[in-house]
């Protein structure tokens, strides 16, 4: 018996003007399998939905085509309607006769609309129902790192009732937080002690991940500690491994020749300069200070912020003359514009130069030569201390972590900071998140935003202890699969693995939890063993067939 | 349908872009038929060839911008497949009809319209 297809056309409350709906209804009714065609003007409103449900029940409709607006816009609403009417919510196909037909063309477009409906009818005939099921997930979270962002994350996760393990490779927590204290006036000590006393938080110091397996909801992690190795299970993994900085001086060739002269001079990093500022027993206070940033690294948010903070502090403490050499001052962080103005008002001089300044030694001082863009002349400055430009790099071990978790890094070695489609803190593998410095050049405000979004995301995924998934949305046919491993290699989400069936044969199995439904494996499978429900070859080709038939 | 363009649109970029073109009432030729796919990487060689076999004047594959694919590698795989299709068509000497890949972001309706117009122009020039 032929499947009964119901077509629901909607004129969107009169917004679709250039389609002759009466003629369309007559044409659509002639398509094979179509048992009822309804015209409505308010399908997505309560009234329309009620009518739709009663119609589906009365006519015993098995599959539904909705010809109205874009599926991007209303598909989820109509899926719910199908569920209420007792149908599997996957037996729906939408024809986009509003955005991609009526609104983009002048004149009568009835013919195109009918053809779009025909495409949807052809597709819906082949759709197969999909079951939904709640799969259990582990509610524990592993947070890697021991700095500000990691400690803050575990505290917040504990507050929403999730148990966490904090994995730190150093012997103590709080590495690198002193800088924050001097920078933002944060009391990080109390935060660290709060982590240590919290019952929901387990702290593992001097520990490292050595092996990670599994998928979201069920990661198995092997951790090496001083005492030996332990195997743990986690529902999600959060990386907050932070960043490190490196002086950018090495990249300038002219310095190499004069290394010996330079070594005795005061060329310091921002961190060392912070220490100088904090040191009250300094022998001689520097009278002239030079700063440098934005020459070798375009992403100079963090170094700019450090420079402004340190320059202001030095000005207040020692009243020194301060010159800042830079290509551009980028003030895209909160409060940075204000800091910049304050620095200028205090008498900090900013000198814009396109090429990196030449740095040499002269009479025990650092000589900086640069061509000022606005003056058009060379500026020569002899200063007591030069705070050199810093490169902002991912922390040591990031490469190893990315290898362990098989996640990509961007061109600079940071975790995911380039792909706008991924949730900013998410990775291509579900259940693995990044926070703060390990994913790019971020200031404190952005790090706090990261923490909140990760906590929300993890809470959403794990708090109920189960995740609702569509079963076998993408499935490899064990009969056809020859275990060529092609799909395992191409899957961007690491959702496929080999499993043994019937004792001997190994076939690819796609995890419903980890799969993000892209269909790359279905397209690439040489044996055509992988079926992606809703976008199988048959369903796509049936739509192409429909284009010809009119 | 003669002179019809079959466009495989990724639901993360090209499909919303096409929707946005509709919302902005940007006009483009009527002869385009959009097939929604979850990722440009889902489009297989067989889909493109079948569309040409059925008489499509051109086939477009529209995916995310380079380096910004929702599924990381989908757009590059699609590009390779389009290239492969063109090579096949050239080998059997039926390379008159354009098969092209375009990259666009979901907020680029103008780029979608430009792609459709560009291909329509090529079809018209070749006299189909």
Q: Which residue has the higher pLDDT, A398 or A364?
A: A398
pLDDT band at A86 (very low <50, low <70, confident <90, very high): very high
How far the first Cα of chain B sits from its last, in Å, is 12
Of the candidate ranges A121-125, A455-459, A495-499, B67-71, the one whose mean pLDDT is the lowest: B67-71
CA distances from A144 to A208, A214, A240, A349, B4 (A): 9, 17, 6, 41, 54
- pLDDT(A264) > 60: no
SS3 A464: coil
Q: Mean pLDDT for chain A?
A: 88
Total domains, chain B: 1
Give the closest-approach CA distance of A492 to chain B in angstroms.
6
β pairing state of A358-362 and A267-268: unpaired
Q: What is the pLDDT of residue B80?
A: 95
Instruction: Taking residues B105-125, report their average pLDDT.
Output: 93
pLDDT band at A266 (very low <50, low <70, confident <90, very high): confident
SS3 B116: helix
Nearest residue in A to B31, CA atom: A112
Q: Tell me the ipTM for this assembly.
A: 0.95
Enumerate residues 491 to 510 of chain A having a beta carbon within 8 A of any beta carbon in chain B: 492-493
| Residue among A104, A115, A548 minimizing CB distance to B26 | A104
Nearest residue in A to B7, CA atom: A544
CB contact under 8 A, A540 and B56: no
Instruction: Taking residues A272-298, report their average pLDDT.
Output: 83
Q: What is the pLDDT of residue A439?
A: 87
- pLDDT(A201) > 90: yes
pLDDT band at A247 (very low <50, low <70, confident <90, very high): confident
- pLDDT(A301) > 90: no
Q: What is the pLDDT of residue B104?
A: 94
- pLDDT(A298) > 90: no
Q: For A375-408, how does the pLDDT look when each residue is reduced to its tens digit (9 = 90+)?
A: 899 999 998 888 888 888 898 889 999 999 988 8
**A441: alpha, beta or left? (left if phi > 0; alpha if psi -120 to 50):** beta
Dihedral sign for Cα A36, A41, A45, A46, please.
negative
Q: What is the pLDDT of residue B128?
A: 56
Q: What is the pLDDT of residue A256?
A: 44
Q: What is the pLDDT of residue A250?
A: 53
Q: For A504-517, how does the pLDDT look when each residue is reduced to its tens digit (9 = 90+)?
A: 889 999 999 999 99
Superfamily of domain A251-389: FAD/NAD(P)-binding domain (3.50.50.60)
Closest CA to A288 of A312, A323, A317, A340: A323
Q: What is the pLDDT of residue A78?
A: 95
Q: For A109-165, how does the pLDDT look when each residue is reduced to its tens digit (9 = 90+)?
A: 999 999 999 999 999 999 999 999 999 999 999 999 988 899 999 999 999 999 999
* Domain that includes residue B112, residue range: 5-125
| Contact present, B75 and B66 (Cβ < 8 Å) | yes
Q: Which residues of B touch A548 (CB under 8 A)?
A: 1, 54-55
Q: Which residues of B touch A517 (CB under 8 A)?
A: 38
Contacts of A534 (CB under 8 A, 6+ apart): A90, A127, A473
Q: What is the pLDDT of residue A474?
A: 94
CATH number at residue B42: 3.40.50.960
Which residue in A423, A488, A523, A529 has the most chain B C-beta atoms within 10 A of its own C-beta, making it the best mutation to test that interface?
A523
Take residue A122 and report the two structure tokens written for it: 């052809």
CB contact under 8 A, B35 and A544: yes
Q: What is the pLDDT of residue A253?
A: 42
Dihedral sign for Cα B21, A492, B76, A542, please.
negative
Query: How many degrees, rounded to 5, is the angle at CA A43 between CA A37 and CA A47?
Result: 110
pLDDT band at A4 (very low <50, low <70, confident <90, very high): very high
Query: What's the whole-model pTM score?
Result: 0.88
CB contact under 8 A, A519 and B41: yes
CB contact under 8 A, A72 and B51: no
Of the candidate ranges A70-74, A80-84, A297-301, the one whose mean pLDDT is the lowest: A297-301
Span A141-242+395-466: which CATH code? Answer: 3.50.50.60
Q: Which residues of A touch B105 (CB under 8 A)?
A: 420
| Contact present, A418 and A410 (Cβ < 8 Å) | yes
Domain ranges of chain A: 5-130, 141-242+395-466, 251-389, 472-532
CB contact under 8 A, B72 and A428: yes
Closest CA to A150 of A133, A137, A168: A168
Q: What is the pLDDT of residue A118?
A: 94
CB contact under 8 A, A70 and B12: no
Q: What is the pLDDT of residue A177?
A: 75
Which of the following CATH numbers is that of domain A472-532: 1.20.200.10, 3.30.70.20, 3.40.50.720, 2.40.50.140? Answer: 3.30.70.20
What is the distance, to the nearest Å, from the Cα of residue A233 to the centroid of all Cα atoms in its chain?
Answer: 23
Range A5-130 classified under CATH 3.30.1600: no
Query: b/e per residue, A300-320, with b = 16+ CB within 10 A?
Result: bbbbbbbbbbbbbbbbeebeb
CB contact under 8 A, B33 and A547: yes
Q: What is the pLDDT of residue A270?
A: 85
Closest CA to A386 of A302, A325, A308: A325
Q: For A508-548, how does the pLDDT look when each residue is reduced to its tens digit (9 = 90+)?
A: 999 999 999 999 999 999 999 999 999 999 999 999 999 86
| Contact present, A201 and A164 (Cβ < 8 Å) | yes
């Amino acid at each position: 018996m032929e499947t009964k297809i119901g077509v629901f056309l909607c004129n969107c409350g009169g917004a679709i003007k250039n389609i002759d709906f009466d003629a369309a209804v007559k044409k659509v009714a002639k398509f094979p399998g179509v048992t009822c065609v309804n015209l409505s003007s308010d399908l997505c409103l309560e009234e329309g939905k009620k009518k739709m449900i009663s119609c589906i029940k009365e006519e015993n409709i098995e599959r539904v085509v909705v010809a109205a607006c874009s599926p991007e816009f209303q598909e989820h609403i109509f899926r719910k309607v199908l569920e209420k009417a007792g149908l599997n919510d996957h037996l729906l196909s939408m024809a986009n006769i509003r955005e991609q037909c009526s609104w983009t063309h002048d004149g009568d477009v009835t013919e195109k609309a009918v053809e779009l409906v025909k495409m949807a009818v052809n597709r819906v005939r082949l759709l197969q129902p999909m079951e939904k099921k709640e799969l259990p997930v582990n509610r524990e979270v592993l947070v890697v790192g021991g700095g500000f962002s990691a400690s803050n994350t575990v505290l917040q996760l504990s507050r929403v009732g999730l148990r966490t393990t904090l994995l730190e490779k150093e012997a103590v927590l709080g590495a690198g937080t002193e800088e924050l204290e001097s920078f933002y006036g944060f009391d990080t000590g109390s935060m660290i002690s709060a982590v240590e006393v919290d019952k929901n938080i387990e702290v593992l110091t001097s520990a490292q991940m050595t092996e990670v397996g599994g998928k979201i909801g069920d990661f198995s992690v092997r951790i090496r500690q001083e005492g030996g190795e332990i195997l743990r299970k986690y529902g999600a993994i959060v990386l907050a491994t932070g960043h490190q900085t490196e002086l950018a001086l090495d990249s300038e060739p002219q310095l190499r020749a004069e290394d010996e002269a330079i070594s005795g001079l005061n060329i310091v990093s921002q961190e060392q300069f912070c220490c100088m500022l904090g040191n009250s027993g300094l022998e001689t206070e520097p009278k002239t200070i030079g700063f440098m940033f934005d020459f070798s690294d375009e992403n100079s948010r963090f170094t700019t912020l450090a420079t402004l903070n340190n320059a202001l502090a030095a000005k207040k403490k020692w009243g020194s003359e301060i010159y800042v050499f830079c290509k551009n001052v980028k003030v895209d962080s909160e409060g940075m514009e204000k800091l910049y103005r304050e620095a200028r008002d205090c008498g900090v001089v900013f000198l814009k130069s396109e090429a990196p300044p030449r740095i040499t030694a002269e009479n025990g001082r650092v000589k900086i030569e640069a061509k000022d863009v606005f003056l058009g002349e060379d500026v020569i400055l002899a200063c007591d201390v030069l705070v050199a430009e810093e490169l902002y790099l991912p922390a040591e071990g990031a490469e190893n972590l990315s290898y362990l978790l098989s996640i990509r890094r961007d061109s600079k070695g940071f975790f995911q900071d380039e792909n706008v489609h991924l949730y900013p803190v998410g990775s291509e593998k579900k259940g693995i998140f990044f926070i703060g410095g390990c994913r790019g050049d971020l200031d404190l405000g952005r790090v706090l935003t990261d923490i909140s979004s990760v906590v929300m995301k993890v809470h959403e995924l794990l708090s109920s202890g189960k995740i609702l998934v569509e079963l076998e949305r993408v499935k490899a046919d064990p009969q056809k699969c020859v275990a060529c491993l092609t799909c395992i290699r191409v899957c961007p989400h690491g959702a496929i693995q080999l499993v043994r069936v019937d004792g001997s044969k190994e076939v690819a199995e796609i995890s419903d939890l980890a799969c993000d439904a892209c269909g790359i494996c279905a397209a690439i499978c040489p044996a055509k063993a992988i079926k992606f429900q809703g976008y199988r070859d048959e369903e796509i080709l049936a739509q192409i067939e429909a284009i010809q038939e009119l | 349908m003669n002179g019809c363009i079959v466009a495989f649109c990724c639901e993360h970029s090209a499909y919303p872009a096409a929707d946005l073109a509709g919302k902005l009432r940007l006009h483009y030729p009527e002869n385009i038929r959009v097939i929604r796919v979850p990722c440009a990487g889902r489009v297989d060689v067989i889909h493109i060839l079948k569309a040409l076999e059925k008489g499509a004047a051109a086939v477009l594959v529209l995916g995310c911008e380079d380096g910004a694919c929702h599924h990381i590698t989908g757009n590059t795989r699609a590009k390779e497949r389009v290239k492969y299709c063109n090579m096949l068509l050239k080998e059997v000497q039926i390379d008159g009809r354009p098969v092209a890949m375009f990259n666009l972001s979901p907020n680029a309706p103008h780029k979608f319209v430009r792609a459709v117009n560009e291909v329509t122009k090529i079809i018209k020039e070749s006299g189909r």
